[in-house]
Structure 1
Amino acid sequence: MALGRARGGERRIDYWPGFVDALSTLLLVFVFLLTVFVLVQFFLTREMAGKDDAMARLQAQIRELTDLLALERTSRDDAESDLGSLRSSLALMQQERDRLRSEIVAPPDEAEQAAARGRAEALASQLAQQKDVAAQALSQIDLLNQQIAALRRQMAALEEALAISESKDKESQAKLADLGRRLNVALAQRVQELTRFRSEFFGRLRAILGDRPDIRIVGDRFVFQSEVFFDPGSAGIRPEAIPALDKLAEAIAALEKEIPSDIAWVLRVDGHTDNRPIQTPQFPSNWELSAARAIAVVQYLVGKGIQPVHLVAAGFGEYQPIDAADSDEARAKNRRIELKLTER
């Protein structure tokens, strides 16, 4: 009665709606930033993949043109070598022609003069043929020089295109790195704020349920020892657990009213057991026992008016221990029911 009069005589300020509004806003911002990051990552990845393909094609063309240029240079060198040989042969023939002409001018007799004229005519014919071959070689060298010049222009254009592509690729990578850095900073800030609000929410649950050693906060989860709700090897809720479950249902009902309807959230109820095997007709393994206990808690909360869309039941068996020691104390810690407020 004295406590009731004291509460009636003073006004209490409820900060909880403000905390929930801030939590919902942070969740929306977090989802929005994550969506933006995924979209930007997707488009930039596609753009970078296309640029990588283009760069690979350009590099393949450059290698092909380089091989062609080397082949053309080899052909030109061969042609120049042949031309040098032809020029040497032409010079020798010209010397022989001059010698024969000198013999024709003053031959010792008519027979030698006729033979000299025959040799001179033969050399003249060979000389004409060599000149034609030399002219063809010069023409081929000119054509090769033109082809080499065209290949060089193509290589210069490809190298310029490759440089532009590499520059754009570096700019894209820099933008992506900057966006990722800014997004990571923003997400880190939001996670810190979300962690603070979750801690305050669990603190409120602690105040509602009382400061009991079998109820504690572990990370982002609210942990009940299984003995609070269930007898050993059973999934039936103990009568002694009804007051605690009723208070929990009241807190969740208030949460449903305060969180906006456009935020997809659930309270996940996780069942965990120790590593002692169980083999009964009802529970052939710890999987069935942990799942049945989580479902029993969810069904009770639904019976108290909590919307099923905001509840999830999960059974983990003995495979997620919080204490891996082989002792009765560790096994007692591992037999638990966990509540986690998360996104749907």
Structure 2
Amino acid sequence: MLKRLVILAVLSLSSLMLSGCLVGEGKYLKKVEEADNLSKELTTLQEKYSALSSENEGLKGALAKLKDEAAGLAQDKEKLTADNRELQQVLQAKSDSLSQNIVELRQKVSQLEAENARLKADIASTQKAKEEQVREVSKTYEDLLDKMKGEIAQGQVTISELKGKLTVNMVDAILFDSGKAEVKPAGMDLLQKVVEILKDVKDKAIRIEGHTDNVQIVGNLAKRFPTNWELSSARAINVTRFLQSRGIDPAVLSAVAYGEYHPVAPNDTDEGKAKNRRIEIILVPKDAP
């Protein structure tokens, strides 16, 4: 019985020992599994940490770059602001200058408009005066034509009018004897007809021109008139003095000698020479040369 009890005790003890071993092995395996899991998780976390660290470094670099760019942009902004202020100052200065120029130009335009108005008035007045002078010359021309129609018909006098210039052309034979410069009576009668017309003419100058042919003066006559200059001059002056003596204002009279150098016809015929020996009485504006 005791033996049986010992056996039972041994069996019980063995069972207990076996049961304890089984329990310990289960816990061990469980711990091993937990360790593996933790190791795997640690590896994953290390990998994630490494990736995040790399990402963090990248983000830090990007942030630094952005800060540099921001600083550069700030500098650019400051420069642009300064440039903008300078540009505004330049534009303001130009605007002020342009405004001043506009004011000055407006004043000049106003002055020019006033000047143009005055010039237009002067032109109108001058044109009116010119038309009046033309009418006066035309009337004088018509009066002379009527007064001297006999002499004109005989070819002793020609009268022409061109652009306000009236010319009375008299052949020397009707005014002077051959080789002389004194106006003969028939010439005085003719000149008196001219005086009666010209004495009422206003604002005109009267120029008396002496002309000759190209025949040179010889003999005793050359002592008095060495050349045709002297002869044409003496004749022009004597006609001028006659007009003065009959009431023509000497201030409007002038005498000019052209000698043989302003012919109106060739000097190779007697007829041409006769045309060139002449006195011309010319009415011109007082300011004309």
What is the TM-score with the length of structure 2 in the denominator? Answer: 0.55
Q: Matched residues in 1 for 2:277 and 2:225: separation?
A: 16
Deviation at 1:208, TM superposition (A): 8.5
User: Aligned pair 1:290/2:236, yes or no?
Assistant: no
In structure 1, the partner of 2:135 is 193
Task: Return closer, same or farther for 1:135/1:183 CA change in 2, 3 Å cut-off.
Answer: same
Letter in 1 for 2:212: T
In structure 1, the partner of 2:106 is 164
In structure 1, the partner of 2:31 is none
1:313 aligns to what SS in structure 2? strand
Structure 1, unpaired ranges of 5+: 1-105, 108-118
Deviation at 1:225, TM superposition (A): 0.6
User: Aligned pair 1:270/2:209, yes or no?
Assistant: yes
Q: Matched residues in 2 for 1:291 and 1:307: separation?
A: 20
Q: Matched residues in 1 for 2:159 and 2:173: separation?
A: 17
Letter in 1 for 2:188: L
1:218 aligns to what SS in structure 2? strand
Task: Return closer, same or farther for 1:128/1:316 CA change in 2, 3 Å cut-off.
Answer: same
Task: Return closer, same or farther for 1:143/1:205 CA change in 2, 3 Å cut-off.
Answer: same
Query: Matches of residues 214-225 of structure 1 in structure 2 within 5 Å?
Result: 214-219=156-161, 220-225=166-171
Query: Matches of residues 212-291 of structure 1 in structure 2 within 5 Å?
Result: 212-219=154-161, 220-232=166-178, 234-237=179-182, 241-246=184-189, 248-249=191-192, 252=195, 259=200, 267-278=206-217, 280-291=222-233
Deviations 1:164-212 (Å, cap 9, x if unpaired)?
A: 3685477468646744663465245324421332123313541686853
Task: Return closer, same or farther for 1:186/1:325 CA change in 2, 3 Å cut-off.
Answer: farther
Q: Matched residues in 1 for 2:204 and 2:116: separation?
A: 36
How many percent identity over aligned positions? 24
How many pairs are equivalent?
229
User: Aligned pair 1:337/2:282, yes or no?
Assistant: no
State whether residues 322 and 333 of structure 1, in contact with CA within 8 Å, keep that contact through their aligned partners in structure 2: yes
2:224 aligns to what SS in structure 1? coil
Deviations 1:129-148 (Å, cap 9, x if unpaired)?
A: 86884564244234224224
Deviation at 1:290, TM superposition (A): 0.9
2:159 aligns to what SS in structure 1? strand
Q: Give the superposed CA RMSD.
A: 5.0
1:316 aligns to what SS in structure 2? strand
Task: Return closer, same or farther for 1:159/1:312 CA change in 2, 3 Å cut-off.
Answer: closer
Deviation at 1:271, TM superposition (A): 0.8
Query: Matches of residues 4-153 of structure 1 in structure 2 within 5 Å?
Result: 133-134=75-76, 136-151=78-93, 153=95
Task: Return closer, same or farther for 1:195/1:255 CA change in 2, 3 Å cut-off.
Answer: closer
Task: Return closer, same or farther for 1:274/1:129 CA change in 2, 3 Å cut-off.
Answer: same
Q: Structure 1 stretch 172-181 or stretch 190-199: which is displaced more?
A: 172-181
Q: Matched residues in 1 for 2:206 and 2:256: separation?
A: 11
Task: Return closer, same or farther for 1:128/1:318 CA change in 2, 3 Å cut-off.
Answer: same
In structure 2, the partner of 1:319 is 261
Task: Return closer, same or farther for 1:193/1:214 CA change in 2, 3 Å cut-off.
Answer: same
Deviation at 1:162, TM superposition (A): 7.1
Q: Matched residues in 2 for 1:142 and 1:343: separation?
A: 69
State whether residues 272 and 337 of structure 1, in contact with CA within 8 Å, keep that contact through their aligned partners in structure 2: yes
What is the TM-score with the length of structure 1 in the denominator? Answer: 0.48
Larger radius of gyration: 2
Task: Return closer, same or farther for 1:151/1:325 CA change in 2, 3 Å cut-off.
Answer: farther
